[in-house]
Amino acid sequence: MAGLYLHIPFCKQACNYCNFHFSTSLKSKDEMVVAICRELALQKNYLDGEPLETIYFGGGTPSLLDQRDLDLIFGEIFKHYPVSMQPLEVTLEANPDDLNPLKISDLRQTPVNRLSIGVQSFSEADLRFMNRAHNDSEALASIQNAQAAGFDNLSVDLIYGAPTTSHEQWAANLEQVFNLKIPHLSCYCLTVEPKTALAHQIKKGAAQPVDDEHAAQQFEFLMEKTAEAGYEHYEISNLALPGHYSRHNTSYWQGKKYLGIGPSAHSFNGMSRQWNVANNAAYIRSLQAGELAFEIEVLTPTQRYNEYVMTGLRTKWGCNLLKIKELGYEAHFAEGAKTFLLDGSMEREGNEFRLTQAGRFLADGIAAELFAEEGNG
Ligand code: SF4
């Protein structure tokens, strides 16, 4: 089974913290849709005929695609790719300002059966701080509109740790999604990536810096409140009511194959990783010439080990020593894990090594300590 990711590289306006690939000019949207369809046809053998289990429209802002765009893309997908016998999970990331009743009713006519809504916060102060395109009433209305139209498989993105997000506001954001019975939450800590508008604003003193302690307290509160509300914390940033894990993201973390289509999209076939050119004009030009524009890296066992540790430790399944043994790093991992088993940030059950609640605060740092360098397995 395999996954298909489509990157839609357009946004109405730039959120100040974002470092994804997108353009705020929609002039080339039609050409982009044609180029994406061409890439779908050219890459039809990448997954070796493995049936698709999930399709995921990410970005950028896929809810900027209209019905005609989606019809063209789905037509091309179903022409070239077999799909699994079990129901496909088809997710589309949507921004609240796009999700009016008309748009949602159009989406209901497509194979999309899961919406991931970029709410981020229900507070106007937070949304203005982040320079989101939507306001607080659209944040709420988008969810209510989607539910009224029959989209019950919803995921909502929330951001914590912003200087404008008081602990009371964070509690109110969580209360709101619990009241709305949202089955899946993706909750991200506001991080200040280099070269973003937010990094620039903080440097100039125009925005308050992000306080690690403030963010850590909100992460702790998130874990406590979501557990009380019945959510499973199955990946550091993802929580779901039983039966509502994101199948698409879970297959990334479990190392399954996926094909990424669109500028900047990544693909993985088990042995190599490749990534498309992150430039809309260059991507369109190359597809117009019938060529793919990507770079490729064949992963060494060391790189595969490091990726496995990085992603595995973020999930509730953790890392399996037998899998690590196949990559030749069993001794290295077991030695490195001793410290974390002793200090209580990691626990072991048979061959499974998982982070404890305390360890989740430090997941990336712990993974980095366990990384291997070429040749030291
Ligand atoms: S809508 Fe999403 S992709 Fe677009 S700028 Fe905002 S965070 Fe980035």
Q: Would you write out the chain's pLDDT as a tens digit for each of its 377 residues? A: 899 999 999 999 999 999 999 999 999 999 999 999 999 999 999 999 999 999 999 999 999 999 999 999 999 999 999 998 889 999 999 999 999 999 999 999 999 999 999 999 999 999 999 999 999 999 999 999 999 999 999 999 999 999 999 999 999 999 999 999 999 999 999 999 999 999 999 999 999 999 999 999 999 999 999 999 999 999 999 999 999 999 999 999 888 999 999 999 999 998 899 999 999 999 999 999 999 999 999 999 999 999 999 999 999 999 999 999 999 999 999 999 999 999 999 999 999 999 999 999 899 999 999 999 986 66
3-state class (DSSP) for residue 317: coil
User: Ligand 1, atom 3: nearest CA belongs to which residue?
Assistant: 60
Give a yes or no: residue 355 inside a domain.
yes
For ligand 1, say whether the CB of 90 is within 6 Å of any of its atoms: no
Give a yes or no: residue 270 inside a domain.
no
Q: In testing the pocket of ligand 1, which one of 6, 15, 19, 121 has its CB within 8 Å of the most ligand atoms? A: 15
How long, in residues, is the chain?
A: 377
CA distance 188 to 238: 9
88 and 196 part of one domain: yes
Please tell me the distance between residue 61's alpha carbon and the centre of ligand 1 in angstroms: 7
Q: What is the pLDDT of residue 376?
A: 64
Domain at 353, CATH number: 1.10.10.920
244 and 328 part of one domain: no
For ligand 1, say whether the CB of 60 is within 6 Å of any of its atoms: yes
DSSP string, 90-126: EEEEE-GGG--HHHHHHHHTSS--EEEEEEE-S-HHH
Give a yes or no: residue 289 inside a domain.
no
184 and 306 part of one domain: no
Q: What is the pLDDT of residue 58?
A: 98
233 and 128 part of one domain: yes
54 and 200 part of one domain: yes
Of 188, 219, 252, at which residue does a domain stop? 252
Please tell me the distance between residue 229's alpha carbon and the centre of ligand 1 in angstroms: 29
Domain range for 341 is: 301-370
Give a yes or no: residue 60 inside a domain.
yes
Q: What is the pLDDT of residue 377?
A: 61
Give a yes or no: residue 167 inside a domain.
yes
For ligand 1, say whether the CB of 20 is within 6 Å of any of its atoms: yes
Give a yes or no: residue 194 inside a domain.
yes
Of 252, 283, 317, at which residue does a domain stop? 252
214 and 317 part of one domain: no
